[in-house]
Structure formats: structure tokens, C-alpha cells
Amino acid sequence: MLKAWLHIKSKTRGFSSVEVLLASTLFGFFATALIGAVIYGRAATQDSGDRTAAIMLADEGVQAARNIRNGAYGSLVNGTYGLTQTGNLWAFSGNSDTIGIYNRQITIADKASNQKQVTSTVNWSQGDDTKTVSVVSVLSNWIATIKSWANGILAGSGAVSGTANAVKVATSGNYAFTVLSATTSNFVVTDMSNPAAPSIVRTISVTGTPSNIAVAGNYAYVTTNNGSGEVVVVNIATPASAAVAATYNAAGTAGALGITISGNYAYITRAFSLTDNEFLVLNVTNPLSITQSGAMSSLASMNEVYVAGNYAYVAVSSLTAPMAIINISTPASPTLISSFGLSVLANALSVGGYGKYVYLAASYTLYILDITNPATPTLVKQVIGASTINDIDEDGDKSNVFLGTASTAGEFQVVDVSSPTTAYAVRTIDVPGTASAIGGVAYNAAFDAVAAASASDTQEIMVFTRN
């Protein structure tokens, strides 16, 4: 057997070229893998060392920016910079700086009001690779004075030609939509993105004399005294080219006075009429084709409405029952569940609310009511205004209620309701002129400002801000 094997072996002695090729290829693979492991291992070690130093340099960038901020917040101007030391002080210079093998860039961008985001990026190259580490931090202008409504000001105003009084206003995005007590040129769109200089971008006419306005989505809903077209729908998708899109005629001829939009429904309040319904629930799923879902009659004019959950709270011209509470859980059949009276006889002109509180403006007084139990509100606090309160609006979680009054010396007031039981008028502003009563106010969350509609002939549109 052995002999036979050796014999064959001796006959086929030597390697074929295929075998040699195979063997050298295999050897090549192993050698490459092993040498690669050593080379990459070294590169990784080198990288970890360089990275440690790079992170420190990036951190230094943020610390230097902090130092520059501490010197003057105004020195943090948006852009990309390098760092340098001028007169032994940190300063920005050029658009990058080099430390040994490292290149550093500091990028400053706006984060929020009085806040800048600082990104410190360090780059270095290793072989053909560029490595990067970034450190991000936010620096605040902590020394800035916090603006308050306690020092609120009339920031700017706009005039509408003619002598018509502006009555109500609503806001959406950059714009305020004001309605005037006139039969023509009675719907005005104002760009209030610069509160100091509100500019009128559009004036149109809606049929009838407007009484109130609400905005939802791409449409503004204007209530008017026109008995054959109580609600006018204005397309405001492009505010500068706002145009009447539809008109809704409610049964009867009583003029509409107030409106609130909630979900797919609009809640309309109307002037008293023996024959007509004063409270309407309209389906506005399609704003161009509004239909009535339900209605309810009342014994007095209903001025404004605020909706919270399944209940509508209505400000009523009734000395004994100035607030009506209506169950609207079934849109087809709104039901009066209680009438709320005050300790004094007063008509209510406006109503609003936030969370578990309803704010009711009756005569000179703002009543803060707890509606934890919707049917039986409890009086939490009353705040006396400068004169008859025409309209109110609130800024929600910032806890202020804004009043537009008929006073000649305190047309605009701010009530701090952060602690409802101790709510108080934190600011009263006397706007120029004695015939400038404010009929409508609307808070604009985008600018933390309030747009107002005034009876003044020179500044029908006003913008109030914190200061």
C-alpha cells in the first residue's frame, strides 16, 4: 500500500500552477487581514488620542462664547466665526481658527428670544479622512429685562379712512381682522408682524353692519345686523386678498351679535326678537355651505358666547340673569340648563374663559367664575374696570385677561388672573383722545400682543404689547 502511494506520488511530483496560485492567494488574504488589523488598530489608537484633545478644544469654543456673552450678549451675532485672543480677551475673528492639527468653527444661531445656540465644531484630518466633533450649547441673555404687562404700552396703531368706529377684532398668524360699524369698507386686514407699525393690507365691504368676528382656519366669520344674511364668510387664506366667499341667512330677521367657532360648529348669538331664535348652532364643516344644526330661543339679546366642553356660556343683556349656560352636547337641540345672576343688576357684553374659569364682563366689572361644576358656576373674584367693559380676551396659560372699555382715561386694561382669587388690574392704558373707547380686543399668541378695535378716528386699529 505504502509502496503504491509513494509510487503514485513520485509520478505526480511538483505543484501545478493552479495549486501555487491558490496557495499564494490564501496566503495573501491572511497577510492582508493581519497587516490590516495592525494598521487600523494603530489608526484607531491615534484617532482616540486626537479625539480627546479635539473634544476639549470644542468645549473651549463654547466656554469662550460664554465668556464673550458675559461681556456683552450683543456680541453674539448670528454667523460662523473662529476664536482669537485680543488683548488677552476672547474674541471672534475670521470664520475659523487653527490650533495645531485642528480647525475650529463657532456657529451662532437664534434659538429663541434672548437665546442663542452656539455650536463649536472641531475638524482634523487623519490620512484621507476628516474627523469632526461638535459641542452644542444654548446661551441666554439672562440679564435681559423681562417685559411685563405691568408696563404694557400702546406699541402702534393704524388709521382707517373715515369716521366709522372699529367694533371687534380677531387675530390669526401675522394678521388682525377688524370689523367696523359701517356698511361699506367695514372689514380691514392688518399685518401686525411689526407691532410698532401695524399696516393695513386689505379693506373690503361686507353686506350689513358688522357686529362681531371669529376666525377659524382659512375663513373669517363676520356677524352682521343684516336680517337676510347674518353671517358673512370671508376667505382669508391670503389675507392681503381677502374676499367674501359666502353668506348665511338665518331664519328670521334678528341681527347676529356674537360668534364662536368650536370644531365643526359655529355658535351664534342674536339680538332679541319675539319670533326668532337667539342662539344658533351652525354646522361649518363646509364654510361655503353652512347649515343650521339646532337653535334655542331666549327672552333677551345674547351678546357673546364662550364654549367649554359640552357647554356654551352666553353673555346676555339681562339685568337679572346676565349669563346663560346652554348644554350643547347635542348640536341639534341646545338646551338652557341655568341662568346665572349676579349680586348687582348688570347686562353682560362679553364672555371668555380658560381652563376651569369663565370670565364674564358685566357693566364695569369682570367676574371670574369657577365652572368646575358647569351648571352652577361659583364666583371666585370680581375686578372693577375703568368703565363699561365692551370686550374681553385672554392669553390662556399666560394668565392675563385683556379688557376693552368705554372709559376715556383707561380704554385698555390688563387683569392678572394667575391667582384667580387675588386677580387684579395690573395695567390701565389711557390711549390718546377722549373718543377712543375700545370695542374689541383680541390676543395674538404669535407676537404676545393684543390687537384692539377703537372708536378713534385716527387710530381705529391698535396694538398693545408688554414692555
Partner 1 sequence: MNSCKKPLAQNGFTLIELLLYTVIIGSLLLGVVSFYGLAAAARVKNQSVNEVNLQGAAAIDIISQTLRSATAVTTPATAASGSTLTMTVPTASLSPTTFTLNGTTLQVSESTGAAVALTNDKVRVVAFSAKNLTRSGGHANVQVSLTLARVNAGNREEFNYQQTFTTSAELQW
Contact set with partner 1 (CB under 8 A): 3, 6-7, 9-10, 31, 34, 38, 41-42, 45-46, 48-49, 52-53, 56-57, 59-60, 63-64, 66-67, 70-71, 85, 87-90, 99-100
CB of 401 to partner 1, least distance (A): 40
| Minimal distance, residue 371 CB to partner 1, in Å | 47
Which of 148, 181, 220, 198 is closest to 390 using CA atoms? 181
C-alpha cell, 78: 448670528
At closest approach, how far in Å is the CB of 93 from partner 1?
A: 14
Do residues 323 and 340 lie in contact, with contact meaning Cβ atoms separated by under 8 Å?
A: yes
Amino acid at 204: I
Between 51 and 147, whose beta carbon lies closer to partner 1? 51
d(CA 295, CA 412): 35
Residue with smaller CB distance to partner 1, 34 or 445: 34
**Least distance to partner 1 from the beta carbon of 29, Å?**
14
Dihedrals phi, psi of 24, to nearest 5 degrees: -70, -30
**Burial tier of 19 (Cβ tally within 10 Å: 0-12, 13-18, 19+):** exposed
Minimum CB–partner distance for residue 103 and partner 1 (Å): 14
Pairing between β-strand 231-235 and β-strand 243-248 as defined by DSSP bridges:
antiparallel
Residue 49 or 309 with smaller CB distance to partner 1: 49
Contact (CB, 8 A) for 64 and 90: yes
Q: Which is nearer to partner 1, 120 or 178 (CB)?
A: 120
> Is the Cβ of residue 54 or residue 417 nearer to partner 1 in the bound state?
54
Nearer to partner 1, 12 or 373 (CB): 12
In the complex, the smallest distance separating the C-beta of residue 98 from partner 1, rounded to whole angstroms, is 13
Type of residue numbered 252: G
Which CB sits closer to partner 1, 137 or 193?
Answer: 137
User: How many Cβ atoms from other residues are within 10 Å of residue 409's Cβ?
Assistant: 12
From CA 420, how far away is CA 416, in angstroms rounded? 8
In Å, what is the CA distance from 382 to each residue of 126, 167, 363, 369, 425? 72, 25, 12, 9, 10
Nearer to partner 1, 89 or 251 (CB): 89
Specify the DSSP class assigned to residue 332: T
Minimum distance, C-beta of residue 128 to partner 1, in the bound complex (Å): 21
- To partner 1, the closest distance from the beta carbon of 104 in angstroms equals 11
CA angle 446, 199, 415 (to 5 degrees): 45
Q: In sequence order, what DSSP letters do the residues of 364-407 get, joined into one string?
A: TEEEEEE-SSTTS-EEEEEEE-SS-EEEEEE-GGG-EEEEEES-
Compute the C-alpha angle 427/429/433, nearest 5°. Answer: 170
- C-alpha cell at position 172: 390669526
Residue 316 Cβ vs partner 1, minimum distance, rounded to whole Å: 58
Using the minimum distance from each CB to partner 1, give the nearer residue, 103 or 260.
103
